[in-house]
Amino acid sequence: MLILDEPFSSVDITTKARLLGEIRALAAQQNLTIILVSHDPQEAVAICQTTVILEDGRVQEFGALAELIRHPCSPTLKAFRDYCRLE
């Protein structure tokens, strides 16, 4: 298991892209579970398959990230998706 808490918050874009690729490859090679804490939806999309959406410490949604983005149930995720232009 790999736990990452805002791992790219102080990293330049080039390094961030490289690290995202390395983390994805490592997770696939080692069959790792990754727990990612992030406020950046692009990071979540790049790494995560299953996602928990929290608001004020409460679970709002849980499931496959692609499905949650396509069909958000909570107003929070819908607003977040629309703001970030995720599809």
Contact 68, 61 (CB under 8 A): yes
Residues 29 and 61 in one domain: no
| Domain membership flag for residue 17 | yes
**Which residues constitute the domain of residue 10?**
1-37
pLDDT tens sequence for the chain (87 residues): 999 999 999 999 999 999 999 999 999 999 999 999 988 878 888 888 898 988 899 999 999 988 888 899 999 888 878 877 766
DSSP 18-84: HHHHHHHHHHHHHT--EEEE-S-HHHHHHH-SEEEEEETTEEEEEEEHHHHHHS--SHHHHHHHHHH
Residues 86 and 53 in one domain: yes
Task: State if pTM tops 0.75.
Answer: no
